[in-house]
């Protein structure tokens, strides 16, 4: 079958290890199911994998990708949940299983004609969502949903600041927060991305680091060092910053004096559960909310898709489609 794989690592030139071509057909272990991929979306996790983060040389070649929507062998349309973990080992939350992993870390990923996942890792795809839309949900959108709904402690009418408008999680957070009835402020260094954030539902958008009109109840933080101080300064006393990434660096000054004096909550968040994915799908169906898709490429043109992702000039998700003969 055709697949997109990581065959070597290069932190400076990650796309040099990207290989497109034929690989052995998917092996389906007992208790797992085969999904015939109709659409898959890219994430920065895929670029990090090509840099050697989360993978070892002996695991290569590794099929990349975590997001996908497709059909089972019997034709049932499904969405793939990429967290491979045991809910019981995580106290009812598979993302807290100490041994949990994501597709393309230990098991082959979704950027292929077919992928195998545990039976519990498929969620029904409703007719209201296209395969392309559904393929955007399992990573960036699920991450944003968990940050906002499960972790942030927000209520209708609260104000949330989304740092780094344009990225997949940030774009999803703006859209989800808007339909949930929060007041949404967003930041970006790029004027066009700020304008796009307002189009997507942000009430106002500001230059990165700018003084805001007031304090916020929560911050959605995926940027890291470049925005961390601004995130803490923007919170009201008792506010919450929810962190799911740090694309500009992992070690900003902690500013513990601000954290304890203002009694701020710093909450980590990673991916989401299968139940949360089902709830997100239901929210999309009930409200008409749909993922923003930046561009669509054929699976066999994945290199162009990765080049676009690596450029950083993206708003929303990049989707790869597979059209079986």
Domains of the chain: 2-136+291-321 (3.90.180.10), 141-268 (3.40.50.720)
pTM: 0.95
Q: pLDDT tens digits for the chain (325 residues)?
A: 999 999 999 999 999 999 999 999 999 999 999 999 999 999 999 999 999 998 999 999 999 999 999 999 999 999 999 999 999 999 999 999 999 999 999 999 999 999 999 999 999 999 999 999 999 999 999 999 999 999 999 999 999 999 999 888 999 999 999 999 999 999 999 999 999 999 999 999 999 999 999 999 999 999 999 999 999 999 999 999 999 988 888 999 999 999 999 999 999 999 999 999 999 999 999 999 999 999 999 999 999 999 999 998 888 899 999 987 6
Residue 320 neighbours by CB under 8 Å, 6+ apart: 4, 39, 40, 41, 42, 111, 296, 297, 298, 299, 301, 302, 305
Are 136 and 293 a contacting pair, CB within 8 Å?
Answer: yes
| Edge-first strand listing for the sheet containing 18-22 | 18-22, 2-6, 62-63
As a whole number of angstroms, the distance between CA 315 and CA 207 comes to 16
Neighbours of 93 (CB within 10 A): 18
């Amino acid at each position: 079958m055709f697949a997109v794989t990581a065959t070597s690592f290069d932190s400076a030139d990650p796309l040099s290890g990207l290989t497109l071509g034929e690989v052995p057909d998917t092996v389906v272990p007992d208790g797992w199911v085969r999904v015939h991929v109709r659409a898959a979306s890219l994430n920065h996790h895929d670029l990090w994998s090509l840099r050697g983060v989360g993978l070892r040389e002996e695991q290569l070649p590794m099929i990349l990708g975590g997001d996908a929507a497709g059909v089972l062998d019997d034709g049932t349309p499904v969405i793939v949940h990429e967290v491979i973990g045991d809910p019981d080992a995580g106290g009812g939350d598979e993302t807290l299983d100490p041994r949990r992993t994501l597709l393309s870390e230990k098991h082959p990923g979704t950027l292929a004609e077919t992928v195998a996942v545990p039976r519990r890792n498929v969620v029904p795809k409703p007719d209201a969502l296209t395969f392309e839309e559904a393929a955007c949900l399992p990573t960036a959108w699920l991450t944003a949903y968990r940050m906002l709904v499960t972790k942030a402690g927000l209520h209708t009418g609260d104000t949330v600041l989304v740092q780094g408008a344009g990225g997949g999680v940030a774009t999803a957070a703006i859209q989800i927060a808007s339909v949930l009835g929060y007041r949404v402020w967003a930041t970006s260094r790029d004027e066009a991305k700020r304008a796009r954030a307002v189009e997507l539902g942000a009430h106002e958008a500001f230059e990165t680091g700018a003084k805001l009109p007031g304090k916020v109840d929560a911050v959605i933080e995926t940027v890291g060092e470049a925005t961390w101080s601004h995130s803490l300064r923007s919170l009201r006393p008792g506010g919450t910053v929810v962190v799911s990434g740090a694309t500009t660096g992992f070690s900003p000054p902690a500013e513990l004096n601000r954290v304890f004096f203002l009694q701020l909550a710093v909450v980590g968040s990673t991916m989401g559960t299968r139940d949360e994915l089902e709830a997100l799908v239901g929210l999309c169906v009930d409200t008409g909310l749909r993922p923003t898709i930046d561009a669509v490429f054929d699976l066999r043109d994945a290199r162009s898709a990765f080049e676009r992702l690596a450029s950083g000039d993206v708003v929303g998700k990049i989707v790869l489609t597979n059209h079986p003969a």
